[in-house]
């Protein structure tokens, strides 16, 4: 069979979670919480199902949820999106990103990704027949390098994908960087796909720099978010995309033949739950405390901490560990760490097309404190 994606195997997240469960390891690999969501959210699902919200919803999403999202974006980022024409509910951010790409990328179009990047972007572009143009983030800091981005833009560039807060590094774009991007794209027709699934996990009082805050960027952007991250329900697979009406019209043409609709009771539950903004407003403090607990524990080990401004991931350099396995390729090190030390992690090389190996691995700290403490105990042996 002539594969559409010959390079692609099973995702690293699936592989590492399977290995962690096979070896009874503490799973700090794949990004998901090991604690439950707010019981009030579960009650809202139950109420929605019992109220009879169990058939197809509108293709674009339940109106109350689209309105709640539009209201939130306006309140937090100051841009008004029309809930009817500019907001769509998706089956997670994953579908939103794929659908946006399929909607606008023509065969042969160039699409720029900033590496390291989330593992679905490149195969998504390839499925659309696009040409992937990889631009590295600055090594070490993972900050955008505007000279390199500018050099990558050509008349064939159709879109640029950005992700802030950034998986895997936790780097968050600054206002100055967003303005620099705005200025860079202003004379072009390049579209922006802004993956903001960790929008509510930005620490140390920093604001989230949504593309929605910048009119020049928002006018060309699909902005993607995910309830899975925000409400500790990654398995629900409900996300959203907002975009100006002409872009959204194209998005919906693909969406209706891709998933058509997204499950109904979850949408009603999320809409009801969003009436109380406390859960997402409390999220930075909630995860900052976990980040600090995890970083303080790691600071006492030979793992060298990289910055952690946002997301629920912490990257560490392994090159100063006291064990010879520190010299293994990152992916082999992560397998060894899972099997022998009992802690699963994700190699950063999985986020690069060429498997670039910089002796850095990613841990997820969206875990109960006791899980983090147990992981730290095991890691402190190295
Ligand atoms: N983008 C990034 C950067 C992510 O980390 C994730 C979650 N792993 C996704 C998209 C996908 O989100 P969802 O689970 O809502 O599809
Ligand atoms: N986004 C999550 C991570 O980066 C995992 C999602 C997945 O398994 N595809 O760990």
Which residue ranges make up each domain of the chain? Answer: 12-30+282-379, 39-275
- Average of per-residue pLDDT across 172-183: 98
**Percent of the chain clearing pLDDT 70 (strictly above):** 100
Lining ligand 1 with CB less than 6 A are: 31, 92-94, 118, 163, 167, 195, 197, 226, 228, 234, 237, 239
Mean pLDDT of the chain, nearest integer: 97
Lay out the sheet containing 110-115: strands in order across. Answer: 87-90, 239-242, 221-226, 191-195, 157-163, 110-115, 131-136
**Whose CA is closest to 181, among 152, 206, 145?**
145
Give me ligand 1 centre to Cα 269, in Å: 21
Give the model's pLDDT for residue 211. 98
Work out which ligand 2 atom sits closest to the CA atom of 14.
Answer: 8
Ligand 2 and 27: CB distance under 6 A: no
Length of the chain in terms of residues written: 382
Work out which ligand 1 atom sits closest to the CA atom of 228.
Answer: 15
Give me ligand 1 centre to Cα 263, in Å: 18
* Residue range 63-81, pLDDT digits in tens: 999 999 999 999 999 999 9
The ligand placed nearest to the CA atom of residue 227 is 1
Give me ligand 2 centre to Cα 238, in Å: 14
Work out which ligand 1 atom sits closest to the CA atom of 195.
Answer: 1
In this prediction the ipTM stands at 0.97
The answer as to CATH 1.20.1730.10 being correct for domain 39-275 is no
With cut-offs at 50, 70 and 90, classify the pLDDT of residue 7. confident
Give me ligand 2 centre to Cα 97, in Å: 14
Task: Using most ligand atoms within 8 A of CB, pick from 16, 31, 197 the residue to mutate for ligand 1.
Answer: 197
With cut-offs at 50, 70 and 90, classify the pLDDT of residue 39. very high
Work out which ligand 1 atom sits closest to the CA atom of 13.
Answer: 8
* Residue range 83-106, pLDDT digits in tens: 999 999 999 999 999 999 999 999
**Percent of the chain clearing pLDDT 90 (strictly above):** 98
pTM of the shown model: 0.98
Residue 311: left (phi > 0), alpha (psi -120 to 50), or beta?
left
Ligand 2 and 311: CB distance under 6 A: no
Ligand 2 and 11: CB distance under 6 A: yes
- Alpha-carbon separation of residue 157 from 97, 109, 193, 195, 281 (angstroms): 17, 6, 13, 18, 37
Contact criterion met (CB below 8 Å) for 245 and 111: no
Work out which ligand 1 atom sits closest to the CA atom of 163.
Answer: 3
With cut-offs at 50, 70 and 90, classify the pLDDT of residue 364. very high
* Residue range 207-256, pLDDT digits in tens: 999 999 999 999 999 999 999 999 999 999 999 999 999 999 999 999 99
Give me ligand 2 centre to Cα 292, in Å: 22
Dihedral (CA of 192, 198, 200, 202) sign: negative
Ligand 2 and 13: CB distance under 6 A: yes
Work out which ligand 1 atom sits closest to the CA atom of 227.
Answer: 15
Work out which ligand 2 atom sits closest to the CA atom of 168.
Answer: 4
The ligand placed nearest to the CA atom of residue 344 is 2
Tokens of 241: 């995309």
The ligand placed nearest to the CA atom of residue 99 is 1
CATH number of 12-30+282-379: 3.90.1150.10
Give the model's pLDDT for residue 98. 98
Ligand 2 and 167: CB distance under 6 A: yes
- Average of per-residue pLDDT across 323-347: 97
- pLDDT reading at 117 higher than 90: yes
**Whose CA is closest to 342, among 1, 120, 27, 5?**
27
Give the model's pLDDT for residue 376. 98
């Amino acid at each position: 069979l002539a594969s559409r994606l010959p390079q692609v195997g099973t995702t690293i997240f699936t592989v590492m979670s399977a290995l962690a469960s096979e070896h009874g390891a503490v799973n700090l690999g794949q990004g998901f919480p090991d604690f439950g969501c707010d019981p009030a959210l579960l009650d809202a699902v139950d109420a929605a199902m019992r109220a009879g919200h169990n058939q197809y919803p509108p293709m674009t999403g339940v109106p109350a949820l689209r309105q709640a999202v539009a209201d939130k974006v306006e309140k937090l980022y100051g841009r008004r999106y029309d809930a009817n024409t500019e907001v769509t509910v998706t089956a997670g951010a994953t579908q939103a990103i794929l659908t946006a790409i399929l909607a606008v990328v023509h065969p042969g179009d160039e699409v720029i990704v900033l590496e390291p990047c989330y593992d679905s972007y490149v195969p998504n572009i390839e499925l659309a027949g696009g040409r992937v143009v990889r631009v590295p983030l600055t090594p070490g800091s993972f900050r955008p390098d505007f000279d390199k981005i500018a050099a990558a833009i050509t008349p064939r560039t159709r879109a640029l994908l950005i992700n802030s807060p950034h998986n895997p590094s936790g780097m968050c774009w600054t206002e100055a960087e967003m303005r620099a991007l705005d200025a860079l794209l202003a004379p072009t027709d390049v579209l922006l796909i802004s993956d903001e699934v960790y929008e509510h996990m930005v620490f140390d009082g920093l604001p989230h720099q949504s593309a929605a805050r910048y009119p020049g960027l928002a006018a060309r952007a699909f902005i993607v978010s995910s309830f899975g991250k925000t409400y500790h329900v990654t398995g629900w697979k409900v996300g959203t995309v907002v975009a100006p009406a002409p872009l959204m019209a194209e998005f919906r043409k693909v969406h209706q033949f891709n998933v058509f609709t997204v499950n109904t009771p979850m949408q009603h539950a999320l809409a009801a739950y969003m009436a109380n903004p406390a859960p997402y407003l409390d999220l930075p403090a909630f995860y900052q405390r976990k980040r600090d607990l995890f970083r303080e524990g790691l600071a006492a080990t030979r793992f060298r901490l990289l910055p952690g401004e946002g997301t629920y991931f912490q990257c560490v350099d392994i090159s100063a560990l006291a064990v010879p396995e520190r010299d293994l390729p990152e992916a082999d090190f992560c397998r060894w760490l899972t099997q022998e030390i009992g802690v699963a992690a994700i190699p950063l090389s999985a986020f690069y097309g060429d498997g670039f190996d910089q002796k850095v691995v990613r841990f997820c700290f969206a875990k109960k404190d006791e899980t983090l403490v147990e992981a730290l105990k095991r890691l402190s042996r190295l």
